[in-house]
């Protein structure tokens, strides 16, 4: 018995000691990670910034501590980090150039335009940009085309085939399970509801998709033509020949690429042009390294601040672990910016397909109040459509990229009728006692009756009229003029400028420049809001859930947005100002 107690005590003591040791090691490891993340990167002579793009691109990315603890590479990139890193690479004399290694990046063309403009600005320094990929996707080739030299693997490929959009329709699937979607909308082109009530595009939707796809493709052709010195007509000819399946030698012959090299040859070439000897290793900096490179520009002492406020994702319904516009939080944040006298102007960076009509109206109100105190400039990202345009229209000035998708001025409501599923398939039956005519309106157990449908459609009509008025007042246009270009139609930034919905074409830097001009300040500091969480805050708050969602995004790929949307339907505001739920451009 004594031996048993002795062995038991020893075992328990061993477990406790092991737990203490592992806890201490874990704390030391986390402290080391935090310390290393805050350590300034030392840039050595003849360094190269490797911009390795493979994963997903968002406006901003919160560093995920669980990903760090798991020792995994970050596959989510923040556009803000990339643009800032390119600028720092331009300013730092020890960085000789950028090596652009492109694989696959889940993003939209407007964000690629922003990066491309930053790379063009980088080239003004006289430094080199070299691009390499085993297989260039079409959007990554668009980005790489700005390079001084495009290198392709001898067995690699360049995708160049044009653009296509392929929406998914759920009507027959819903019918099989006994669910009917009851739709109320205003706007001939308001196509967000079509996947739930049709099996193909309407003529109006096909018209608008054809128009904005053509506008985006024209932009790609013009940019690549300018960079590669290939006529637009020839690039269209190449697309019709399906460059994706051509041998690599074809790309040299037609001017899409400059040379064919295996990876080892690329590394040797980089050593040569960066001033390193053949027997020396390359000096490289990753995007993570560049985040901690000190800026060469001194801190401004004027006390003037221009704030860049990021509003991205769905409005009051999120489809990503890191994105989403919570209207209550945005209102509080904008109010603080309004009351802060050191902030001389606000750039509202909007990247949103819309969402809750009610939430959009509340943010619109706060933008109006903010504009009474200081200039408000909107910078549109990939999307600023429907609710995204709603929260933008009151600004003093709107800047968009040519391929930004915007407009979509329209509203809809969507309510499921689950009578067939509940009664016929599941055998559930319902009865009702009510005190008033509309007391049970909205029940899932039956469809809307004629009076309810009329009341709901009238509510949607009033919401649309209010949306149109907000746009007319904000843009200084008549209601009639807005109605002609509304109807839920999506426009590219280039077309929106012609229609008066946008003031100027350009990226975030252009919007900041305009904000400084309107605020009449020459010296200022640039601060971004909301502030990102610290390592420990992220760890304690939602690091774990964000990590799991991030893994799902990586695993499911293009299927993730559709699955996430279905998960979020139950929490969405039933009255929506949003563009198509799952717009696929490939």
Q: Which residue matches tokens 């006529």? A: 231
Q: What's the distance, CA 38 to chain centroid?
A: 26
Tokens 């509203």 map to which residue? Answer: 411
Instruction: Check if 190 is active-site.
Output: yes
> Which of these is catalytic: 185, 190, 271, 497?
190
State the Cα–Cα distance between residues 76 and 57, nearest whole angstrom. Answer: 6
Residue at token pair 């309106």? 441
The CA distances from residue 150 to 13, 146, 218, 555, in Å, are 63, 9, 22, 30
Return the H-helix or E-strand segment holding 157.
strand 149-158
**Residue tagged active-site, from 215, 386, 408, 538:** 386
In 3D space, the residue among 470, 480, 502 whose CA is nearest the CA of residue 361 turns out to be 470
Return the SS3 of 377: strand
DSSP 164-233: -B-----HHHHHHHT-EEEEEEE-TT-GGGHHHH-SS--HHHHHHHHHHHHHHHHHHHHHHHHHHT--HH
26 Cβ contact list (under 8 Å, min separation 6):
none
Q: For residues 355 and 325, what is the distance between their CA atoms, to the nearest angstrom?
A: 9
Beta strand residue intervals within 305-442, DSSP E: 305-312, 343-352, 354-356, 376-385, 397-400, 405-407, 411-417
Q: Has 465 been annotated as catalytic? A: no
Q: Would you please indicate which residues are annotated as catalytic (active-site) residues?
A: 190, 386
């Amino acid at each position: 018995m004594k031996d048993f107690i002795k062995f038991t005590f020893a075992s328990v003591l061993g477990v406790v000691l092991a737990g203490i040791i592992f806890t201490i090691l874990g704390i030391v490891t986390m402290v080391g990670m935090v310390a290393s993340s805050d350590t300034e990167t030392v840039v050595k002579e003849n360094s190269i910034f490797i911009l390795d793009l493979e994963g997903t691109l968002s406006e901003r990315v919160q560093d995920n501590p669980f990903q760090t603890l798991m020792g995994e590479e970050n596959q989510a990139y923040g556009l803000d980090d990339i643009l800032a890193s390119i600028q720092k690479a331009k300013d730092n004399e020890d960085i000789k150039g950028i090596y652009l290694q492109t694989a696959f990046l889940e993003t939209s063309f407007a964000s690629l335009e922003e990066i491309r403009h930053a790379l063009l600005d980088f080239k003004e320094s006289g430094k080199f940009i070299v691009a390499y990929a085993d297989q260039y996707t079409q959007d990554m080739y668009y980005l790489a085309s700005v390079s001084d030299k495009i290198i392709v693997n001898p067995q690699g490929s360049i995708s160049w085939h044009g653009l296509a959009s392929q929406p998914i329709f759920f009507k027959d699937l819903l019918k099989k399970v006994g669910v009917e979607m009851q739709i109320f909308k205003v706007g001939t082109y308001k196509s967000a509801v079509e996947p739930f009530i049709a099996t193909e595009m309407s003529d109006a939707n096909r018209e608008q998709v054809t128009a904005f796809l053509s506008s985006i493709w024209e932009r790609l052709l013009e940019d690549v033509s300018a960079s590669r010195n290939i006529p637009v007509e020839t690039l269209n000819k190449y697309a019709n020949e399906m460059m994706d399946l051509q041998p690599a030698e074809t790309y040299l012959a037609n001017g899409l690429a400059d040379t064919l090299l295996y990876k080892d040859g690329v590394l040797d070439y980089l050593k040569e042009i960066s001033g390193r000897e053949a027997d020396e290793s390359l000096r490289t900096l990753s995007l993570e390294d560049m985040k901690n490179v000190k800026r060469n520009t001194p801190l401004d002492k004027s006390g003037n601040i221009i704030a860049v406020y990021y509003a991205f994702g769905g409005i009051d319904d999120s489809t990503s672990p890191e994105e989403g516009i919570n209207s209550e939080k945005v209102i509080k944040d904008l109010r603080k910016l309004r009351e802060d006298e050191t902030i001389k102007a606000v750039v509202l960076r909007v990247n949103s397909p819309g969402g809750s009509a009610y939430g959009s109206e509340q943010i619109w109100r706060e933008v109006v109040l903010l504009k009474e105190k200081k200039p408000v400039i909107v910078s549109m990202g990939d999307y600023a459509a429907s609710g995204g345009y709603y929260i933008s229209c009151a600004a003093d000035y709107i800047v968009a990229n040519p391929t930004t998708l915007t407009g979509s001025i329209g509203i809809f409501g969507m309510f499921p009728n689950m009578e067939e599923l509940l009664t016929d398939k599941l055998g559930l039956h319902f009865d009702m006692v009510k005190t008033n005519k509309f007391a049970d309106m909205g029940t899932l157990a039956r469809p809307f009756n004629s009076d309810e449908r009329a009341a709901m459609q009238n509510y949607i009509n009033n919401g649309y009229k209010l949306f149109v008025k907000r746009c007319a007042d904000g843009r200084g246009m008549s209601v009639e003029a807005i109605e002609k270009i509304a109807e839920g139609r999506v426009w590219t930034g280039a077309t929106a400028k012609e229609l008066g919905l946008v003031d100027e074409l350009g990226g975030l830097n252009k919007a900041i420049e305009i904000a400084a001009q309107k605020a009449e300040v020459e010296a200022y500091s640039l601060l971004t809001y909301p502030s990102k969480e610290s390592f420990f805050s992220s760890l304690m708050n939602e690091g774990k859930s964000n990590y799991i969602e991030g893994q799902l995004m990586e695993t499911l790929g293009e299927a993730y947005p559709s699955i996430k949307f279905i998960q979020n339907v139950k929490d969405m505001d039933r009255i929506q100002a949003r563009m198509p739920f799952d717009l696929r451009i490939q």
